[in-house]
Amino acid sequence: MIVASMCTIPSRVSDARCVIHRMLGGQTCPLNRIQVSLNGFGAIPGAFPVDPRVKYCVRPDNPGPWIRYAAADDFAAEDILLTLDDDVDYPPDYVERAVGLLRDEPQSVAGCFSAVSWTPFQDDFTYGLRRLQFMLEASLSRSRRVALLKGQSGVFRSSHVAHIEPPLARALQMNDDMWIGREMQIRRVRIHCWPKAAGWISDRPSSGEPGALYRSRGSERAATFSRLVARGFDPTAEAEAEILATPERILVLSSCSPFSAGSERLDGALRLLCGPGRSVHLLCPVDTAERGRVQRMVDGPYWVHEVEADSTDGRWNGIPLVRRWRTRRVARRNAAEWEERLYFVERALNPTQILDWRQA
- From-to residues of CATH 3.40.50.80 in the chain: 246-359
Predicted confidence (pLDDT) per residue in 258-276, tens digit: 777 667 888 899 999 999 9
Residue 257 confidence (pLDDT): 79
Pairing of strands 2-8, 33-39: parallel
The answer to whether 351 touches 251, Cβ cutoff 8 Å, is: yes
Q: What is the pLDDT of residue 316?
A: 45
Output 74 or 321, whichever has higher pLDDT.
74
CATH superfamily of 2-238: Spore Coat Polysaccharide Biosynthesis Protein SpsA; Chain A (3.90.550.10)
Residues 6+ apart with CB under 8 A from 9: 39, 40, 62, 86, 208, 209, 213, 214
- Residue 22 burial by Cβ neighbours in a 10 Å radius (0-12, 13-18, 19+): middle
Q: Where in the chain is the domain with CATH 3.90.550.10?
A: 2-238
pLDDT of the residue at 349: 94
pLDDT tens column, 292-302: 777 778 898 99
pLDDT score recorded for residue 327: 47
**For the segment 202-216, what is each residue's pLDDT rounded down to a tens digit?**
988 765 444 444 444
pLDDT in tens, 20-42: 999 999 899 999 999 999 999 99
Nearest to 318 by CA among 267, 262, 357: 357
Across the chain, mean pLDDT equals 87
pLDDT, tens digit, 9 for 90 and up, residues 136-160 = 999 999 999 999 999 899 999 999 9
pLDDT of residue 311: 56
Question: 3-state class of 39 per DSSP?
Answer: strand
Is pLDDT above 70 for 322? no
CATH pick for 246-359 out of 3.30.450.40, 3.30.390.50, 3.30.70.270, 3.40.50.80:
3.40.50.80
